[in-house]
Structure 1
């Protein structure tokens, strides 16, 4: 019998992966700033048309605030990234994997989460 199990994927921090993460974070920051600017623009456009209702204004404010919170989170992640030493393991993602279950297998061992360790986009260990 096969079961679906969640598998953690961890990345070992190297100069290359650190630079890629930094680039990804900066791209996300730029995208969020663009979205905030666009929302503010749309909000002003609606105000000029006298179409602005308090409910609509609250929705715009809520969306802008949500993005600003994401910006703060990314800035925090960037700070943490700069403080991490090379060789650190970072949780990258989780994937689903199939596990064979046979009669006589130790159930508690099957329940332990598996981990895949990646270094510079190459799998180096499966735990």
Structure 2
């Protein structure tokens, strides 16, 4: 019998992966800033048209802008944490599903243990 099991994929922090993560975070920050600017522009445009209720419109756009600003704060925090992490640290990158063969006589406690794949610079170095 086959079962689906979640497997954690961890990334070992190296100079290369640290740089890639920093670039990814910076790109996300720029994208969120552009979205905030676009929302502000759209709000002003809609305010001038006066087809919608001013109060409702402003509240909705403010919520969207606040959501993005919260994401910005989170990414900035992650960038700070990334700078403090030593090389060789393991970071949880993702979770994937794996097929596990289960047969009569297998130890359930071993099968039920959470599996981990460790990746370093895009190369699998360990399966736990």
Quickly name the TM-score band, shorter chain normalised: over 0.9
Does 1:125 pair with 2:118?
Answer: no
Could you tell me how far apart the structure 1 residues matched to 2:68 and 2:13 are?
Answer: 27
**What secondary structure sits across from 2:94 in the alignment?**
strand
| Structure 1 residue 51: Cα displacement | 2.6
- 2:95 aligns to what? 94
TM-score normalised by the chain length of structure 2: 0.97
Give 5+ residue unaligned stretches, structure 1. none
**What secondary structure sits across from 2:4 in the alignment?**
strand
- 1:26 aligns to what? 26
TM-score normalised by the chain length of structure 1: 0.97
Could you tell me how far apart the structure 2 residues matched to 1:51 and 1:94 are?
Answer: 46
Query: RMSD across aligned C-alpha pairs, in angstroms?
Result: 0.8
- 2:39 aligns to what? 39
Give 5+ residue unaligned stretches, structure 2. none
For residues 13-32 of structure 1, give each alpha carbon's deviation from its aligned partner in whole angstroms, at most 9, with x where no partner exists: 00000000000000000000
